[in-house]
Structure 1
Amino acid sequence: MSTVIMSESSDEQAAGQHYLVCGIEDCHENGQFYCNDCHRPVCEHCRDEHVKNPDTKFHEIVLYRHRKHQLPVEKCKLHPTRNVDIFCKECKIPICSKCSTMKEHHRHEFDDLEEIYTEKYALQQGEFSKIQKYFLPNTKSLKSEIEADATKIHKLMESIRTSMKAEAESLKNLVDEVSSENIDHTHTMEKSLLEMLKSQETIYDDYIAYLGKMSDDFEQHLSLTNHKLLFSETLKIKTIPETTKPVDPVFTAGRFSKDDVAKLLGRVNISNAEPKKRKIQPMEAVTTQMKSTEKQLEQSKEKSDVKQTLSLSSFITKVREYSVPGVDGVWHVSVEKSDRLWVSDWSNLVQTDLQGKQLQKIQTSDGHGYHTATQDGDLIYTDKDNKQIYRITPDKKITKFIKTGDWRPLSVHSSRINGDILVGMYKFYQGKVTRYSKAGQEIQNIQRDNQEQGLYSEPHYITENINGDICTSDYNKRAVVVVNKSGQHRFSYTGQGSGFRPYGICTDVLGHILVCDWYSKTVHLLDQDGGFLSVILSPQQGIMPPCGVCVDDENNLCVGQRDTNTLTVYKYLQ
């Protein structure tokens, strides 16, 4: 009997990921139905035959995802030849059909054990799915949020410590300045007091000289030979000049404490505000989330099926060509939906349909690969001058999304794998790639290789391959730089010969890398490991020169030219 091609881990996986083969002998059609009595998948034709057959016409046939799970075989301990398949509601134990006839179970009510098993299986399967699709992802998201908060706190405290050191240094400089002025003042005061005392010394020197002269005069008056002088005049002595003692300078010590200094320098405190609880997705959203996951699985299967049937065509065919109003050149292209594109030149960002009709226009100031459409239908674009990343919602509302600090954002890409936002940035002739979550939280920074050499100069365009590789087009480095999802350098492609100048870059469903070469005016096709496959477009196809590239939902290559507003669509896969 044929069975499921691949083993299943859940109902959703069986229904969305795996191909089921009909369980009827010699039938290999898709077993989309299930016979709950035979416990095997059946195709539509065999289902109809099953109903017509007298032996099976009363069997219960349902869609595969609504099937009853087969009861595991368990032998009855009392009757080893019988299988346990009945549940006694009074005794609350599983029994076999022969047990039900025993007097211990006389007049007891019974249930089909397989029905109970199916119900319990579905219940437990649902709980298991909640773990995988709700509890575990949300817990990991909260953990990532905590890690992001830890990084933020570390950066914040480093900034506070730097500010505190600067403030303390400033206070030290002021203390040194005031102390120096005070010391200079003591020198000036000392000089003034010493000059005053020197003046007083001069007064007494003069008075001492006067007293010497007076002593000589008195000696002459008292001389016996000159006794007549005693009668001629009477000598009088001048009083001793008065002088003042200097007032001693007094140093009044500053009155301050450690707390006073702390007030001068400031203090870091925790706010009294109540901490905000981390947002946990409500349980009511589980069902919606599961349905979304099922849809993603189905889309993944469809893409996988397409990948298995597609291959490189031996020649490239032009599908359509049209002019995009509102731009002077097509520097970059982002596919929003199957019928809409975003196109930009150096200073204009235009939304257009496949007929070239303008739907929306925004004035910008960037150029290169600075916009990307998300899986949610938003458009994200960078503004390198304001160091800001913006988001445009389907209702045309523009909001600030991410601030990039000292770095100028050049290129941006929304991951088709997990919705992460990849941003190429630069400052002072050095570049880096930063990964953000869908909510705008910084997750990863990629800047250097294992030898601590800078990987990037100015990553003008950025994209992601199907294996998670991050591919950047660095015009200044003259290379396509590719790292894996962990940030480890895998390879750099530097063109064929000299003069390689990479511009627009994209990848396709087969993992190919397509990059524009400004120097040779060509589009190069590489394999997933950087191996050169071919020049897929050259001036012979009328592209002068190719600048922006992307692959649309129909696996066509959209190519824009820098010097004209012409957008050309090619088919290169078959």
Structure 2
Amino acid sequence: MDPRAQDVLLCDLCETDPLQYLCEHCDINLCTDCASKHLSDSSKKHKIVPYHLHRKFTPKYSKCLKHADKDCEMYCESCHIPVCSTCISSGKHKGHDISDILEKLGSKKQRIQKDLEELEKKIYPRYTEISSAVQTEKAEVQTNYGKLAITADQQGEVLHREVTAIVNKRKADIVETKTKHLSILDKQADEITHRMTEINQVILEMKNILDTNDISLTSTYKSRNDEFNKLPPTIKVTLPSLSTPTINTETLNEMFGLLTSLSVTTVEPLLAEPRLTAAIDTGYSGLRNVSCLSEDQVWTCGDSETMKLLNLQSKLLTSIQTKSGNTPIDIAVTRDGDLLYTNPINKIVNLIKNKQIQTVIRLQGWRPRRVCCTAGNDLLVTMISDDRKQSKVVRYSGSTETQSIQFDDQGRPLYSSDPNPKYISENRNLDICVTNASEVVVVNQSGKLRFRYTGHPSNTKQSFNPAGITTDSQSHILTADCYNDRIHILDQDGQFLRYIHCDLERPLGLCVDIRDNLFVAEFYTAKVKKIQYL
């Protein structure tokens, strides 16, 4: 028998399998199978708990540092140290909260057990996921860099073929030019050879006349020296040259294409459990929206003509009333820190700069709903027609309309005619995200539909009717599921990632600050909740 088997504690019923549970009411140790059978006995009351949480043990007390013969059987909550009875009786801990060391040990073990379960069931699995993702990415890196190297080789082969073709053409031109050059020289050589033959013939004739003393030949002789003194012209052919161009390395690199620089982006993981870090009382009877001015200051609007700037301690820093006295439907902070608000009744969008209100957009036939400021400092405005039959998104540069987004590629409306909620936000990839009745509609910068998100197929109290929407530095899309009291987090391609709960009640407006803290406007409680989720 394996001696280690003697150390294994066995089930009291079957006496074969290791014990896993304890019935506190029956005081019996049980394995997994026997625990199920034990619970089937309805004649008695049972309470099954994991054995390791309640197993009996012999405490090993630590010795007191000041009284070596004493065990520390108590714990001073004020000094945060174990103490013995002599320490207590000495009066040094008079007025301090003293607890039993075993009770303290029990509470500590419960905390350790809780931390252990969190580490094993939540934290460590997330590290496993991240590690797996890194290994997958490493494999993809190897593959993709291999593809880049192959592409470089292919580019080189293409250019090499072109260079070879050019070199062969140059060599053919050289052979053709050489042939022409030699032909000219051959023609000149033939003419000279012909003249030399004539001269040799004349020389022979003259010698014959001199040798024969023939009067007839001598009298008919005519000199050709003048003719032969006129030497044939010399033909000078300039040898062609092949110019050597200066190679421009930059131009050559451009011909091959340039390798973009390595871009490293830190992706912040989502917290296992988002946590509430602040709650701001706004004082409205109903809160509509929130927009961050800074990490600790937010603009708010509600069921009132007054817009309030508050800090995290709910202190009112500034308040501004609308020019018309009407309730603003939406607010947004510009890149310059100024405040925008929409007034559907008067069909205008106003800008508050240095506490002065000025109208930047005035509509005809349409009423503005929600507004946001883009990375390029444009304005995106959702609006509905006066007859409530059409909705669209319009981009403005200052007061000038530069883009209208209303239909998809098939000419169908992108957005419903329902005026609510139509909240809008621009993502980091310049996508335009709009909450639309029972869905989130996302189009790219040019207005082409990318996707529609209609909610996650999990159990819900109410159907998915998204309200506020915002995006963060990781290109996450966050939208308020108002009637189900939670926030949906999506990636930039519309894939559901997780929910944020944090005891939310009717979340409506959303925004994030520069550190990706989420601010949630609760309609009925009129509170702004600050939540850390990354």
Q: TM-score range by the shorter chain?
A: 0.3 to 0.5
- For normalisation by structure 1, the TM-score amounts to 0.43
- For normalisation by structure 2, the TM-score amounts to 0.47
